Amino acid sequence: MDIFDGHVHTHYCPHGTNAEISAYIERALQLGYSQISFTEHAPLPDTFSDPAPTRDSSMAIDEFRSYIEELKDYQRAYAGRITIKIGLEIDYIEGHEEETKQLLSELGPNLADSILSVHFLRLKDEWFCLDYSEKEFERIIGRFGTTEAVYDAYYKTLEKAILSDLGPYKPKRLGHLSLVSKFQKKYPSSYDSTRQMLSLLPLIKQKGYQLDVNTAGLFKPLCKEIYPPETILHTAANMGIPLVYGSDSHHPSDLGRGLDALDPAILEHLIKP
Ligand SMILES: [Zn+2]
Ligand SMILES: [Zn+2]
């Protein structure tokens, strides 16, 4: 099987592992990958302070140059064996659109493939990291009032992300669309996420965006579900929205995860990022 993976992290991410990038590439070759996109968490705008309790959401801006250079070396070393794309996972941060646009205008020319994700939720003048931990999620629920209010804020932020003007380097692919469900087994919600996501699909289609078929959620003990779930992916596929597999690996052993769990009808629709 010809595998392409559009969502892979590296040792440049402070919450990941120290595995060498070569270990990811070697593992990808073993699995039969023909293409891999490295999409490290982009540096945050300097006006924004990382709300994750350990402040380790993304790579430091002064590491960006070596990230690009290291990956370029691997592109040369593995030319003809696997296609390596250099990208970033960019955060949509409500209230920091201009700064993000500015950052993208500086970093964007180096990037061949990127993802736009919502990890941060705004409540008035405060931001929270949605997927940091179960405990942090509980604190967020406390601040927003109810689990439903957190879900609602997430999907409203997602819509803003889709509509936002982040300039010519705005990523074309939306990361883990249902990330707010990461802790759903512990904090169930009566919120109708399916309806919300279905209502966003026409907008995603109109904008020409792709969806990250992110299997990481399947392996989160409190989630056990693909981001987004297959019903959404089936509808998206039928609408002609391009789907890109994303292992969201933070370690070489994560590569290829969840592919065997995907519905053959979805597998058939996966495209090269
Ligand atoms: Zn990460
Ligand atoms: Zn992410």
CA–CA–CA angle 182, 187, 192 (5° rounding)? 80
Which residues, in sequence order, are bridge partners of residue 116? 90, 174
CA of 144 to the centre of ligand 2 (A): 22
> In degrees rounded to 5, what are phi and psi of residue 164?
-65, 150
pLDDT digit string, tens, across residues 35-56: 999 999 999 999 999 999 999 9
On whether the CB atoms of residues 7 and 41 are closer than 8 A, the answer is no
Residue 51 lies in a domain: yes
Q: Domain count of the chain? A: 1
| Nearest-ligand number for the alpha carbon of 14 | 1
On whether the CB atoms of residues 221 and 184 are closer than 8 A, the answer is no
Residue 273 lies in a domain: no
Residue 54 lies in a domain: yes
22 vs 91: CA distance, rounded Å: 26
CA of 254 to the centre of ligand 2 (A): 14
pLDDT, averaged per 10 consecutive residues of the chain (273 residues), comes to 95 94 98 98 96 96 97 98 98 98 97 98 97 98 98 98 98 98 98 98 98 98 98 98 98 98 96 96
CA atoms within 13 A on the CB side of 210: 22
Q: Are strands 3-8 and 120-123 parallel, antiparallel or unpaired?
A: unpaired
Identify the pLDDT of residue 1.
75
On whether the CB atoms of residues 234 and 265 are closer than 8 A, the answer is yes
Residue 188 lies in a domain: yes
Residue 202 lies in a domain: yes
Which residues, in sequence order, are bridge partners of residue 8? 38, 249
Identify the pLDDT of residue 56.
95
Identify the pLDDT of residue 49.
96
CA of 119 to the centre of ligand 2 (A): 7
| Nearest-ligand number for the alpha carbon of 58 | 1
Closest CA to 5 of 22, 25, 19: 25
Residue 21 lies in a domain: yes
Range of the domain at 210: 3-267
Residue 79, H or E segment: none
pLDDT digit string, tens, across residues 154-210: 999 999 999 999 999 999 999 999 999 999 999 999 999 999 999 999 999 999 999
Which residues, 6 or more positions from 226, have their beta carbon under 8 angstroms from its beta carbon?
Answer: 213, 214, 215, 217, 218, 233, 258, 261, 262
115 vs 100: CA distance, rounded Å: 13
Q: What is the DSSP letter of 270?
A: B
CA of 3 to the centre of ligand 2 (A): 20
56 vs 58: CA distance, rounded Å: 6
CA of 192 to the centre of ligand 1 (A): 26
Residue 244 lies in a domain: yes
Identify the pLDDT of residue 272.
96
- Rg (alpha carbons) of the chain, rounded to whole number: 17
Q: Are strands 126-129 and 120-123 parallel, antiparallel or unpaired?
A: antiparallel
Give residue 123's identity as a one-letter amino acid code: L
Q: Is the dihedral of CA 216, 217, 220, 224 positive or negative?
A: negative
Return the CATH number at 65. Answer: 3.20.20.140
Residue 169 lies in a domain: yes
